[in-house]
Homo-oligomer: A and B are copies of this chain.
Amino acid sequence: MRHCNACGHAVEFRVPDGDHLPRHICPHCGHIQYINPKVVVGVIPEHADGRVLMCRRNIEPRLGLWTFPAGYMEASETTAQGAAREAMEEAQVDVHVDGLLMVINVPYVSQVYMIYRGTMRGDHFGPTFESSEVRLMREDEIPWDDIAFPTIWNGLRQFFDDRAKGRYEVHSLDLAFRRKPPLRDEVAGDAATP
């Protein structure tokens, strides 16, 4: 970030009065531009037969690897609306968003993942610009070694664990460092819960 998005002047990077962190400040018009963490919203779409819908990424990063529908939250939507939107955009699937499954913090890239459970409405799905292949998979068909991101890996793992127990909860997970694929005991699971 080198220029002011209000007036176009070159910005300075310093601590504003009354603040405690350096910000991008415009010396010309005074505008302060903040860098905010991003919210990623996703949903695990479950078919009536228990299989879940997985997408093979057709775009970088992680081209060719697998994920459930997830992407950046847009302005003026809720997290659940965003998750349903991503399902339609990435897999052509109409999903009823059932409930929040997991909040995953990824501070090393300033992201917060909000992962939902969802139920497919009907049987329609298919490939899209973002997904070269979209497939229903049983748990034993999930390509655990070819999952696109550690957040997706952990969300899926939690989903199947909760389902096996017959009880869904809302889980919190902080991914402490960059590693792929992550092993469950290397991350701080449910760190914020007693």
Contacts and interface: CB of A to CB of B under 8 A. Distances in A.
A37 interface: yes
A191 interface: yes
Nearest to A98: B194
A79 B112 contact: yes
Nearest to A110: B75
A49 interface: no
B77 A107 contact: yes
Q: Is the interface of A mostly helix, strand, loop or mixed?
A: loop
A136 interface: no
B78 A105 contact: yes
Interface stretch (A7-15, A137-145, A149-157): A7-15
Which of A2, A21, A37 counts the most B-chain CB atoms under 10 A from its CB? Answer: A37
A169 B194 CA distance: 12
A36 B40 CA distance: 10
Contacts of A108: 76
A170 interface: yes
B112 A39 contact: yes
Nearest to A193: B99
Interface string A24-47: 100000000111111100000000
Interface of A: 1-11, 18, 20-21, 24, 33-39, 72-81, 89, 97-100, 103, 105, 107-108, 110, 112, 114, 116, 129, 169-170, 172, 174, 191-194
**6 interchain residue pairs of minimum CB distance:** A3-B8, A170-B170, A78-B105, A8-B8, A80-B192, A99-B193
Given A21-B74, A36-B73, 9 more contacts: A3-B7, A8-B9, A36-B72, A37-B74, A76-B107, A76-B110, A80-B192, A98-B193, A103-B114
